[in-house]
Structure 1
Amino acid sequence: MPDDTAKPERKRQARGEKRIEELLDAAAEVFAERGYKAAGTNEIARRAGASPGTLYQFFQNKEAIAEALMARYVVRLRAAHGEAFDPAVAELPLEEMLDRIIDPVVAFDRANPGFYALLADPALSPELASAKKPAQKLMFQRLDQILERRAPDLPAEQRTRTAEVAVHLFRGLLPLIMTATEAELPVLVAETKEVLFSYLSPRIDLEATPQHNRRTLTPEEAARKAAHIAMRSNVTTDDVLTAIHEARAEHVRAVENVLDRDHPREDRR
């Protein structure tokens, strides 16, 4: 005989899953608007059209919400990166390769400001900081794989360093991209690609002829250009430097010297 209790149980489960998604959607909005620290569970519940009691049926606290949200983002990010970092892009001309990689990544970040708010927040608890590590590593891992395919003769250590610096240059400029108006966005994305082209070209296209008379840049020159772009907006060069600081030490020291010379620290506020 059919189990008469199965259908009601499935309905309750479906309602619960729907409510969780609504709470996570609301949390993403609140985190994007207020930042993680200032966001409150009562506001998240209200935004989702639920009571605080309902929220606590599913999540113990705000940190649990953020952990679940980050896990959901990682799943979506893998799908977005699957498009952006298709192995076939390694065979394209560098400019086209950067278009194919950067455009979907920027589109994902712009469509998910709550993800960026969590990823960029330096004041998260150790547990939550650990939860965002898979997302932080994903872009580097995918780019490293693309570079290995594109430049198979490049020593592994050099390839890894190149991928690290390229990712951190991109992250250093990401605050501008996230806050840009629709009118500003194409220009900032184009300049970001130019920074990355100038940095990557001599390292992974060693036999290629530079296109459009572009001069290739050293890591510190690429960082200087990123800093100059940042100076045009409300994003400080310290934001750029903080992102680049995660790259290897020999690049960081050169970057700091350039920024200190071109933009004294009192001018970076």
Structure 2
Amino acid sequence: MTKHSHSSSGLRRQPKQQRGRERVDKILDAAAAVFDEVGYEAASTHKIAAKAGTAIGSLYQFFPDKAAIFQAMELRHVERVKAFWAETNTPEIVQLPLRQMINAIASAVAELFEHPVSRVIFVQFYTAREMFQSIDESMTQEAINFLASILKERNPALSQAHSSLLAEVCVHSINAVMLSALRTSNLQHRQQLSGQIEDLLVSYLEPHVGDARLGNVMKVMKCPHCQSEQLSKNGYRRGKQCYRCKECRKQFVENSQRSMM
């Protein structure tokens, strides 16, 4: 769904001790609950402090107003999304059978939005975008790039444009279904909606990055020198992914049988 880089985190001062960090987390979670219950306009710092079980003076030590609280929530959500991308874009997940890979990603998405801050920020982005100071459509593009890199890794025969197109359809589909799910107050219906994401993505992606193609990917990803599958990414050369073998320590380019040494 980042507009531009802000030096400010929304905080009046950064907490230095663990107790202070825990208090900030509690205030942000309370703010998410209040915004969810009464809306941003009707929310107040006093309501947020009461929800957090802290004195209003304690809240003002960290935040000058509710706008600063909301900005801190934005940045907290960005941190959680970046962590989600890092945790899911791993060889262990990318090389799983397609349904298992999609299940791992969809489960991580569902877990992300179980957190009240991320849930409120996601819904507000699509319903009151003018409120945002740190997040914009560039974050959606980052999500597309993230998924495109996974699809390209599963099937190197995909062109960059094709993998990006597939990823764009997937990301916008996930966002649409998740928005509908998060906006319903019926928990059972929310779970039913979010549960359909896995089937939707598997059906759409099977012809392009399905399990029949995974074997080809695995063959390509063996070291051409010692046939080991214990590889690590090692930058790019002329637009192609480079790898270093953990066994023989030699380097090679994706789809190449020639050593870079």
For normalisation by structure 1, the TM-score amounts to: 0.62
Residue deviations 1:104-159 (CA, integer Å, cap 9, x gap): 211221x2133122222232436x25336675455333212211201212111121
- Counterpart CA distance in 1 for 2:202 and 2:42 is 38
Question: Aligned to 1:118, which of 114, 117, 121?
Answer: 121
Percent pairwise identity = 32
Matches within 5 A, 1:1-269: 13-109=17-113, 111-121=114-124, 122-125=127-130, 128-131=132-135, 136-178=140-182, 179=184, 183-184=188-189, 187-205=192-210
Number of residue-to-residue matches in the alignment:
197
DSSP-derived class of the 1:38 partner = coil
Q: Which has the higher strand share?
A: 2
Residues of 1 paired with 2:206 and 2:29: CA distance?
40
Relative to structure 1, the CA distance from residue 203 to residue 59 in structure 2 (aligned partners, 3 Å threshold; closer, same or farther) is same
Q: CA RMSD in A?
A: 3.0
**Structure 1 residues 190 and 68, CA gap change in structure 2 (3 angstroms):** closer
**Aligned partner of 1:101: which letter?**
I
Instruction: Kindly state the Cα deviation for residue 56 of structure 1 after the two structures are TM-superposed.
Output: 2.4
1:14 & 1:95 partners in 2: Cα distance?
A: 40
| Cα deviation code 1:77-112 (max 9, x no counterpart) | 333333333233222222121111111211221x21
Residues 30-53 of structure 1 show CA distances to partners (whole Å, capped at 9, x for unaligned) of 223334343222211111223333
On the 8 A contact 1:36/1:117 being kept in 2, the answer is: no
Identify if the C-alpha distance between structure 1 residues 64 and 196 changes in structure 2 by more than 3 Å, giving closer, same or farther.
same
1:26–1:44 CA contact under 8 A, matched in 2: yes
Partner SS, residue 134 of structure 2: helix
CA contact (8 A) 1:177 1:185 kept: yes
Structure 1 unaligned blocks of 5 or more: 1-10, 210-269
1:144 and 1:159 in contact (8 A); partners too: yes
Aligned in 2, Cα 1:89/1:124: closer, same or farther, shift over 3 Å?
same
Structure 2: unaligned runs, 5 residues or longer? 1-14, 215-261
Tell me the TM-score normalized by structure 2. Answer: 0.64
Give the conservation status (yes or no) of the 8 Å contact 1:35–1:117: no
User: What do the CA deviations read for 1:156-197 (whole angstroms, capped 9, x no partner)?
Assistant: 112112111101101111134334756456543442222212
